[in-house]
C-alpha cells in the first residue's frame, strides 16, 4: 500500500508539473521557443490520443504507436520522406540475406555497432535476441495484441504457426533468424512496433510495461521523460543517438479531447503541429491563417470500400454495381472531399501499389448493358439518361440488403445515396442497419453471426505495416476466416471467369500464397501486379471506393516534417527555421 500511495503521489506531482509547463506561452510569435534555457528548442504536437500502452509488444492503437515511434526503433524502418515509404535499415547495418538450403529458412543480418539504449546499455545481438525472446513469451502467453502479425496460416497443418522459430547469435553484432517459412515481407514485419528493441536492463522480461508508472527505454532520437494521463507526454533529444542529434531539444505531445480543440490550439499557437483527417473542418478553420500555416494533404493507405458478398452476388452483378457506383457524388455529399478516389486494392503509398489497370468508372449506360446481359430490363432503353428512367428506377430486378452500424450517422446517408445510385440500374437496396457489435460479429463469424447475413456493406481498412500481405492477403484469402467479409474465393472466382483455377497466374489465392513465401521482391511485385489486375479488371470482389486524405498542418517556421501515406507521426527530421518565426 505504501508503494502504491507513493506512485500516486509521484503521478499527481507529474500531472501538476506538466499542466504548469503547458501554461507557458508557446505562441509562434515569441522567441522563447528558440532560446528558452530550460527546454531549449521546443516542439509541441497537438493530439487527441495518449498512449494506451507504452509497451510496443502489446500496443494496438495509434496513440501508443506515435509515442513509441519517437523513442524506439526496430532493425528496419521506413523512409518517411519517400513517396512509397521505402524500407531502410535502422538498427540493422544493412539488409540481411536468406539461406533457403536447409530444413528451415534462415535470415541473417548484421547489426550496427554504434548504438546505445537510453539507459546507457549497448545495443548488440544479445539485446536483440532478448527482445525477440520476450516477444515470443508474450505471444505464447496471450499477451501480445499483435500476435497475428507474427504468425502465418500453414496450409498443410491448417493451423497458425510462428513466422520466427527462434533467434541465434552469430557474434556480438550478427543475428540469425531461424524461421518456419521464408516470409516475403520479413523486413516490413520488423518495421512494426511489436518488433521494436527495448533495453533489457530497463524492461521487465515477462511483464508489460506499466503505461502510467513505467519507463520506456529504446534507441530512438528522443528519450521518454513522462506521461501524465490525458494531459501530455514529454520527451527530450537523445544526445548519444547513432545518427545526428535531433534539432528539437524538447518534444511535447499535448493531449486534447476533440479535434476541434487541436485546431483551436494550432490557431492560437498553443501547439505547433497537428495531424488530423477532418478535412472539412481543418480547411474551413485554417483558411484565414494560411499566411503562417502550412497544410499538407496526400493520399493515405487507409481505404474505404463497398463490401459485396460474393456468395450471394455473382461477378456479373458485381461488375454492374461497380460501374454504377458514383464515388464523386458520395464524396461530395457525405465526406466533404475527405477522400481521394481509389484506383487499386493496394492503396497508393503501399509497397507494390499499381494504378495502371482499368478500374471501373461511373458509367450507368454500360452498367445497364451488363444488367441486360443477364436478362434484366432487356426491353428498356439502356442509355442514361434515356427513355425509360422511371422503369429502371422502379424495376427492382434484384434486391439486396445494405448493412451498416446505426451508430454512424453518415452511413445512414450513404445508404440513401447508394440506394438512389443502384436504382438507376434496377437494383433495389433494403435498409438492414444494425449496431456495431452485431455488424462486426457477422464479419468475424462469432457469437452465432455469419457473413451470409450480409450482402452489401461498408468498411474501412488500414494496414499495420507497409506490405500487401497485411492488406490483400487478409481481405481476400479463402483459407481462413481472416477478414474476408466479402467471401471472395480465388478458386471459384477463377472458375466463374473462365480461368484455370489450378494455374498460378489465374488464381488470386495461389498468387497470394506464392507471394507469402517469395523472398525475391522483384518476383513478389510481379505476383501482386497480377493480383491487382485480376481483382480490378475481372473479379471485382468489392468496390475499391476511396483512400483517405492525410492532413497535416503546422506553422511555416517548422521545417522537415515528413507527411507520409501511412500517417506515421515522426519528429526526428523536424527543425525550426528561426528567421521565418519573426517574419510575420
pLDDT tens-digit readout, 251-269: 999 998 777 788 778 877 8
pLDDT score recorded for residue 293:
64
What is the number of other CB atoms lying within 10 angstroms of the CB of residue 333?
A: 14
Number of structural domains the chain divides into: 1
What does the DSSP 8-state code read for residue 323? H
pLDDT at 290 > cutoff 90: no
pLDDT tens-digit readout, 347-370: 887 889 998 999 999 999 999 999
What CA–CA distance (Å, rounded) separates 1 from 3? 5
pLDDT score recorded for residue 26:
43
pLDDT at 490 > cutoff 80: yes
Q: Are 492 and 440 in contact (CB under 8 A)?
A: no
pLDDT at 427 > cutoff 80: yes
pLDDT at 534 > cutoff 80: yes
What CA–CA distance (Å, rounded) separates 575 from 121? 28
Question: Nearest 5°: CA angle at 243, between 223 and 550?
Answer: 70
pLDDT score recorded for residue 179:
96
Q: Report the run of H or E that residue 315 belongs to, with start and end.
A: helix 315-324
CA distances from 134 to 141, 195, 562 (A): 11, 10, 32
Quick one: pLDDT band at residue 14, thresholds 50, 70, 90?
A: very low
The answer to whether position 76 is within a domain reads no
pLDDT at 583 > cutoff 60: no
**Domain assignment of residue 463, given as a range:** 299-547
pLDDT score recorded for residue 338:
65
What CA–CA distance (Å, rounded) separates 70 from 50? 14
Place of cell 527530421: 573
pLDDT tens-digit readout, 17-52: 444 444 444 444 333 444 455 677 899 999 988 999
Percent of the chain whose predicted confidence (pLDDT) is above 90: 52
What's the whole-model pTM score?
0.86
pLDDT score recorded for residue 275:
84
Q: Are 177 and 98 in contact (CB under 8 A)?
A: no
Percent of the chain whose predicted confidence (pLDDT) is above 70: 86
Question: For the domain that residue 481 is a member of, what is the CATH number?
Answer: 3.10.105.10
pLDDT at 518 > cutoff 90: yes
Which residues are registered as beta bridge partners of 517? none
pLDDT tens-digit readout, 139-160: 999 888 878 888 888 777 778 8
pLDDT score recorded for residue 32:
40
Helices 409-423 and 327-334 cross at an angle (nearest 10°) of 150
The answer to whether position 519 is within a domain reads yes
pLDDT tens-digit readout, 180-229: 999 999 999 999 999 999 999 999 999 999 988 899 999 999 999 999 98
Half-sphere exposure of 217 (CA within 13 A, CB side): 19
The answer to whether position 205 is within a domain reads no
pLDDT at 580 > cutoff 90: no
pLDDT at 475 > cutoff 80: yes
Q: Are 490 and 507 in contact (CB under 8 A)?
A: yes
The answer to whether position 182 is within a domain reads no
**Helix, strand, or coil (residue 341):** strand
Mean pLDDT value across the chain: 85
The answer to whether position 509 is within a domain reads yes
When pLDDT is averaged across residues 405-429 and rounded to a whole number, the result is 85
Pull the grid cell for residue 28. Answer: 509562434
pLDDT score recorded for residue 30:
39
What CA–CA distance (Å, rounded) separates 193 from 208? 14
What CA–CA distance (Å, rounded) separates 346 from 359? 13
Q: Which residues contact 573 (CB under 8 A, 6 or more apart)?
A: 80, 81, 560, 561, 562
Which residues are registered as beta bridge partners of 228? 232
When pLDDT is averaged across residues 539-561 and rounded to a whole number, the result is 87
What CA–CA distance (Å, rounded) separates 581 from 584? 7
Place of cell 530497463: 202
pLDDT score recorded for residue 277:
56
pLDDT score recorded for residue 82:
79
The answer to whether position 244 is within a domain reads no
Q: Are 180 and 165 in contact (CB under 8 A)?
A: yes
Q: Which of 106-120, 401-415, 550-564 has the lowest mean pLDDT?
A: 401-415
pLDDT tens-digit readout, 69-103: 999 999 999 998 877 788 999 999 999 999 999 89
pLDDT score recorded for residue 333:
60
The answer to whether position 392 is within a domain reads yes
Q: Are 235 and 222 in contact (CB under 8 A)?
A: yes
Q: Which of 191-195, 377-381, 484-488 has the lowest mean pLDDT?
A: 484-488
Amino acid at each position: 500500500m505504501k508503494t502504491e500511495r507513493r506512485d500516486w503521489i509521484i503521478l499527481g506531482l507529474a500531472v501538476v508539473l506538466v499542466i504548469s509547463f503547458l501554461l507557458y506561452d508557446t505562441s509562434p510569435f515569441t522567441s522563447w521557443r528558440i532560446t528558452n534555457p530550460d527546454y531549449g528548442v521546443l516542439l509541441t504536437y497537438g493530439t487527441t490520443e495518449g498512449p494506451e500502452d507504452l509497451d510496443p509488444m502489446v500496443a494496438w492503437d495509434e496513440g501508443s504507436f506515435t509515442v513509441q515511434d519517437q523513442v524506439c526503433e526496430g532493425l528496419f524502418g521506413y523512409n518517411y520522406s519517400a513517396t512509397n515509404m521505402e524500407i531502410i535499415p535502422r538498427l540493422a547495418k544493412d539488409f540481411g540475406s536468406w539461406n533457403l538450403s536447409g530444413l528451415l529458412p534462415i535470415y541473417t543480418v548484421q547489426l550496427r555497432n554504434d548504438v546505445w539504449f537510453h539507459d546507457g546499455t549497448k545495443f548488440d545481438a544479445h539485446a536483440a535476441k532478448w527482445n525477440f525472446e520476450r516477444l515470443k513469451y508474450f505471444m505464447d502467453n496471450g499477451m501480445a495484441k499483435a500476435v497475428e502479425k507474427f504468425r502465418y496460416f500453414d496450409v498443410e497443418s491448417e493451423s497458425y504457426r510462428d513466422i520466427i522459430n527462434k533467434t541465434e547469435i552469430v557474434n556480438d553484432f550478427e543475428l540469425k533468424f531461424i524461421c518456419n517459412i521464408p516470409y516475403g515481407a520479413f523486413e516490413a514485419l520488423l518495421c512494426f512496433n511489436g518488433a521494436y528493441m527495448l533495453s533489457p536492463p530497463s524492461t521487465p522480461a515477462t511483464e508489460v510495461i506499466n503505461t502510467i508508472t513505467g519507463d520506456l527505454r529504446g534507441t530512438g532520437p528522443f528519450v521518454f521523460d513522462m506521461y501524465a494521463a490525458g494531459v501530455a507526454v514529454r520527451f527530450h533529444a537523445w544526445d548519444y543517438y547513432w545518427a545526428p542529434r535531433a534539432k528539437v531539444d524538447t518534444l511535447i505531445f499535448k493531449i486534447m479531447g476533440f479535434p476541434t480543440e487541436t485546431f483551436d490550439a494550432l490557431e492560437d499557437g498553443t501547439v505547433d503541429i497537428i495531424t488530423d483527417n477532418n478535412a472539412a473542418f481543418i480547411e474551413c478553420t485554417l483558411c484565414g491563417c494560411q499566411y503562417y500555416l502550412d497544410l499538407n494533404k496526400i493520399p493515405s493507405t487507409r481505404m474505404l470500400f463497398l463490401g459485396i458478398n460474393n456468395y450471394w452476388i455473382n461477378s456479373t452483378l458485381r461488375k454492374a454495381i461497380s460501374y454504377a457506383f458514383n464515388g464523386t457524388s458520395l464524396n461530395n455529399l457525405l465526406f466533404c472531399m475527405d477522400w481521394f478516389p481509389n484506383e487499386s486494392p493496394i492503396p497508393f503509398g503501399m509497397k507494390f501499389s499499381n494504378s495502371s489497370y482499368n478500374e471501373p468508372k461511373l458509367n450507368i449506360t454500360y452498367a445497364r448493358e451488363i444488367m441486360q446481359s443477364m436478362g434484366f430490363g432487356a426491353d428498356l432503353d439502356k442509355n442514361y439518361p434515356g427513355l425509360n428512367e422511371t422503369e429502371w428506377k422502379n424495376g427492382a430486378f434484384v434486391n439486396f440488403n445494405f448493412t451498416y452500424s446505426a451508430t454512424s450517422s453518415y452511413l445512414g446517408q450513404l445508404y440513401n445515396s447508394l440506394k438512389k445510385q443502384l436504382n438507376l440500374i434496377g437494383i433495389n437496396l433494403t435498409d438492414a442497419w444494425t449496431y456495431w457489435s452485431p455488424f462486426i460479429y457477422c464479419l468475424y463469424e462469432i457469437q452465432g453471426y455469419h457473413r451470409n447475413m450480409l450482402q452489401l456493406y461498408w468498411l474501412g481498412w488500414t494496414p499495420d505495416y507497409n506490405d500487401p500481405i497485411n492488406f490483400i492477403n487478409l481481405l481476400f484469402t479463402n483459407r481462413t476466416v481472416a477478414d474476408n467479409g466479402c467471401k471472395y474465393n480465388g478458386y471459384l472466382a477463377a472458375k466463374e471467369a473462365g480461368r484455370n483455377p489450378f494455374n498460378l497466374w489465374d488464381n488470386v489465392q495461389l498468387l497470394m500464397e506464392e507471394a507469402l513465401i517469395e523472398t525475391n521482391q522483384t518476383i513478389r511485385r510481379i505476383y501482386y501486379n497480377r493480383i491487382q489486375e485480376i481483382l480490378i479488371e475481372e473479379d471485382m470482389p468489392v468496390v475499391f471506393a476511396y483512400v483517405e486524405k492525410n492532413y497535416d498542418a503546422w506553422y511555416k517556421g517548422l521545417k522537415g516534417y515528413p507527411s507520409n501515406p501511412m500517417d506515421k507521426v515522426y519528429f526526428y527530421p523536424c527543425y525550426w527555421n528561426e528567421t521565418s518565426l519573426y517574419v510575420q
